[in-house]
Structure 1
Amino acid sequence: ACLGSKGTFSLSASDTSDKNRVKSRLKKFITRRPSLKTLQEKGLIKDQIFGSHLHTVCERENSTVPWFVKKCIEAVEKRGLDADGIYRVSGNLATIQKLRNFFSCSISPRVFPEEKLNLDDSQWEDIHVVTGALKMFFRELPEPLFPYSFFEPFVEAISKIETIKSLVQKLPPPNRDTMKALFGHLTKIVAKASKNLMSTQSLGIVFGPTLLRAENETGNMAVHMVYQNQIAELMLSEYSKIFDSEED
């Protein structure tokens, strides 16, 4: 750059050329930058939590219930059982996304120190943010908590508790154990229904479409929704009968 006749700076031809060269390189970098999906497929990013298959998350953590699910359940049971409309009331979406991003990578306790996972921190003060993030986790699973291949069998087994119980026992361990943890938690919500106003039916409506759906929804969405709600309600109302053989 040089000083002009009126005391102002002007760019020389070489400066302009350098500037254009930098712009060109930046543009090429941005257009060629691999997507998150590409990085995951190549194994360069391995700790994505939201949007990963349940078995992948559990294998990475050497567990059958994702750590994030456990942390959210603990937080709700600690300070949210009496909250009016718990799981039905929506938290602030921007804050939920912030929590999602905070936990989206390296959630494993081997990578993410315990002290950094304090859901009692003031920024997560609204318990509906925690429940919103937990619902988002289940909603973003590539395959629902109730695997696609189990959807029809569960629909056909409605009201047949022993058949439902048998189906649960046939589920892959991550699905079975995560299901047990979640519905066991939801029984504690129902136990406080006089305060939080969340009945078995209310929770069935909230969780049914999130936890199970048909792989192909063509033309049957309304019918499927009824089944989704009913199955979620049944899993909750008959929890002890369905999961009793799984008790420690």
Structure 2
Amino acid sequence: KVKLRILVEANGVTYEKSLEATHELLKPFINKLNVCYCLRQVHSLNHKLILTQSLIQSINQSINQSINQSNLLFVHALDVEGLFRISGSQADLLARKALFDKGDVQLSKDDSPHMITGLVKIFLRELQEPLCTAALYDTFLASAGSLDSIKRSIGQLPVHNRNLLQHLIHFLTFVSNNSHVNLMNHSNLGRIFGPNLFWKRQEEGAPKMDMNQLQATSERTNTITEKLIVNYDEMFDEPLASATSGRLTLQAKMLGHKKSVQWLALADQDRKVCSLDTLGLLKIWDSQTHKLITEFSVCEQGALIYSMITTSTDTIWTATSQSVCIWQLNGKLIGEAPGEAYSLCESPCGDVWVGGAQVMSIYSLRDIPKQAGTSPIKPIGTDLFNQNMFVLALVAVGKNRVWGCSSNKSLYVWDAKTKEMLKTIEIPEKRPKRITYVETEDSETVWVGGDEGVIQIINAKTYEVMNKIDNGGWDKIFVLTTIGSREVWSATWDIVVRVWDPKTRELTAEIKGYHADAISAILEVPNLKGGAECSNIWFGSYDKSISTYQLRSKDGSGESSKWSNANAKRSNVKPIRIGFTSRG
């Protein structure tokens, strides 16, 4: 809210008026005052409106600063233990409050989260009346036992009170959902915010409430606040504009990884999402509720992790500087193949291709045991390369191809059935590390990117370089992936996700999510419940967090585009002769 002080002088008498409202509401009022002032001058009335342009600019600047800094806690502080419970330095808190009262709302990520949350609580406590209003105090208390009644009470709030309440509860849901890290669940938050949202001034002459009444009232306000947090989606019908960026609406943010989250993959018929960080901690989440199911470590301390995939047999494969390991979804190790490995890919024929140091190894999923430790893991074929050549990324292309990009500025194309190398393509890219297959109605292309920030687009049938997207100032490319069959998404060092049209190769959108560092993994996850929300996007970040979004289609209908991988029926794996190699 903005406070506005107006002085008007008429016929020797000075009148003063103070207003408090949002900038959006005050702006038309100010314009009307200016119009009235001009008209009154025409009628020779000596009115003076003291409202300078510098004051308007100051109001605009303060509001813009507040909006830009509103995400500080969300981006930087959801993992802070005791958020909203622990008090910051009282001296710092009072000093910053004094600055806020003067209109200086500068905040930065270096400010103590406890100081910022302390300001929030002070703001709520020092309102002239509670956020949920004194008039509705008894109505809310009477509705404590029913969600429908609470929702009806919210509907009776003034629009600005309701909007602010929704913003606050929306943020508290993210705090509560990460209580395994910050130790602040919905019950703790209810006890903190109940007294700050619901209170009523004691009227003069009214009998004072005894201790039992106070305790009962406090418990009910805490319960209402707790229910607001737990049932946020039911209490508020419309999503917040601040939680929507273009076609993405924020759903959840998950914490708990100790290092950068660099790999995301679907498993168990899209019911689970696997996330892996650079420390080797693998977490398995429910793809629909975002709840953590289990977690385990996939490598020894000191090993470097280069890649992770999940296969059609619901096994997890990890490639590290020490070995390739195969895991069950419950965290049990099925088998291990020693040797450094950089890239992984399941071919259209039901094999797993592993790009290592100067060697390509191929494993048949038919030969992989389902139980842990029942037999050794051996490749069905290997192919040796030149010295100092490493396959850094692999992708399945079409019905019977596997493409790989290597450290020697080359692309390799193999036949997925015969395992024979079909083509070598030279590309002007020092370290091509990201590769994805894009299929549209009239074309098949392979997109390749790397450390130089350049995207090469190659015809998957003729092997010709069709287009080149130069570095636009974003430096390294960390992710190249298809979303449905209509878009290509890239994530770069500048913390921006870019959306490309695969036909025109033009940039159609730029997305900057709720992360403090670059996006390192992007995964499209189907909404198994169907309906309008058919597609969700998961972002993994170098800031050790995962955020999820509902994706709306370009026309705003909410319907997802056709799936390229997820929900596709897996073809039966044909038997392959043991020992068959790419050399025949």
Instruction: Pick the TM interval, shorter chain.
Output: 0.5 to 0.7
Q: Which of 161, 164, 167 pairs up with 1:181?
A: 167
Q: Please, what TM-score do these two structures have when normalized by structure 1?
A: 0.66
Distance 1:229 1:69 in 2: 29
Say whether residues 1:82 and 2:68 are aligned partners: no
* Cα distance change of structure 1 residues 41 and 246 upon mapping to structure 2, 3 Å threshold: closer
Q: Kindly, what percent of the aligned residue pairs are identical?
A: 25
1:216 corresponds in structure 2 to 202
Q: CA deviation at 1:178?
A: 0.1
TM-score (norm 2): 0.30
CA contact (8 A) 1:72 1:131 kept: no
Give the structure 2 partner of residue 4 of structure 1: none
Residues of 2 paired with 1:211 and 1:154: CA distance?
Answer: 11
- Structure showing greater radius of gyration is 2
Paired amino acid for 2:216: V
Seen in structure 2, the aligned counterparts of structure 1 residues 74 and 189 have a Cα distance that, compared at 3 Å, is: same
Give SS of 1:56's match: strand
Aligned mate of 1:58, from 8, 22, 31 = 22
Contact 2:69 2:107 in 1 (8 A): no
Query: Alpha-carbon deviations, 1:128-165, whole Å to 9, x = none?
Result: 01111111111110101110011111111113112211
The CA deviation at 1:69 is 7.5
Change (3 A) 1:235 1:157: same
Q: Residues 62 and 227 from structure 1, CA distance in 2 versus in 1: closer, same or farther, beyond 3 angstroms?
A: farther
**Partner amino acid, structure 2, of 1:223:** A
Structure with greater proportional strand content: 2
More helix by proportion, 1 or 2? 1
Q: Provide structure 2 residue ranges, at least 5 long, that are not aligned to the other structure.
A: 8-18, 28-61, 242-584
- Are 2:143 and 1:143 aligned? no
Counterpart AA for 1:143: E
Q: What residue in structure 1 maps to residue 424 of structure 2?
A: none
SS for the counterpart of 2:85 is coil
* Residue deviations 1:145-195 (CA, integer Å, cap 9, x gap): 110011111111113112211221221011000000000000000111100
Contact 2:167/2:240 (<8 A) preserved: no
Aligned to 2:157: 171
Question: 1:9-46: per-residue Cα shift (whole Å, max 9, x none)?
Answer: xxxxxxxxxxxxxxxxxxxxxxxxxxxxxxx99868xx
1:142 alignment partner, SS class: coil
| Equivalent residue number for residue 50 of structure 1 | none
Does residue 90 of structure 2 align to residue 93 of structure 1? yes
Residues 221 and 135 of structure 1, relative CA distance in 2, 3 Å threshold: same
Q: Could you say if the C-alpha distance between residues 100 and 223 of structure 1 is closer, same or farther in structure 2, counting changes exceeding 3 Å? A: same
Partner secondary structure for residue 141 of structure 1: coil
**1-structure distance, mates of 2:74, 2:157:** 26
Which of 191, 196, 208 pairs up with 1:205? 191
* Residue matched to 1:118: 107
* Cα distance change of structure 1 residues 62 and 191 upon mapping to structure 2, 3 Å threshold: farther
* Residue identity opposite 2:180 in structure 1: S
Structure 2 CA distance for partners of 1:184 and 1:170, relative to 1, 3 Å: same
Deviation at 1:119, TM superposition (A): 2.5
Residue 232 (structure 1) aligned to one of 222, 225, 229: 225
Say if 1:69 and 1:156 are closer, same or farther in 2 by CA, change over 3 A. Answer: farther
Question: Is structure 2 residue 83 aligned with structure 1 residue 103?
Answer: no
**Coordinate RMSD, CA, aligned:** 3.0
Say if 1:41 and 1:191 are closer, same or farther in 2 by CA, change over 3 A.
closer
Matches within 5 A, 1:27-38: none
**Compared with structure 1, are the counterparts of its residues 153 and 235 closer, same or farther at alpha carbon in structure 2 (3 Å cutoff)?**
same
Report the AA paired with residue 208 of structure 1: G
Q: Quote the Cα distance in structure 2 between the aligned partners of 1:43 and 1:197.
A: 47
Q: Summarize the Cα distance change of 1:43–1:152 in structure 2 as closer, same or farther, 3 Å threshold.
A: same
The list of structure 1 runs, each at least 4 consecutive aligned residues, that deviate by more than 3 angstroms after superposition, is 40-44, 59-63, 66-73, 245-248
Q: Spell out, residue by residue over 1:29-72, the C-alpha distance to the aligned partner (whole angstroms, 9 max, x if none).
A: xxxxxxxxxxx99868xxxxxxxxxx924258759xx9597567
The alignment partner of 1:143 has SS state of coil
Instruction: Report if the CA contact (8 A) 1:213-1:224 is conserved.
Output: no
Q: Does structure 1 conserve the Cα–Cα contact (< 8 Å) formed by 2:169 and 2:228?
A: yes
Q: Letter of the 1:207 partner, please give it.
A: F
Aligned match of 1:130: 116
Q: Which of 147, 162, 165 is the aligned partner of 1:161?
A: 147
Give the letter aligned to residue 151 of structure 2. Answer: K
Distance 1:69 1:215 in 2: 30
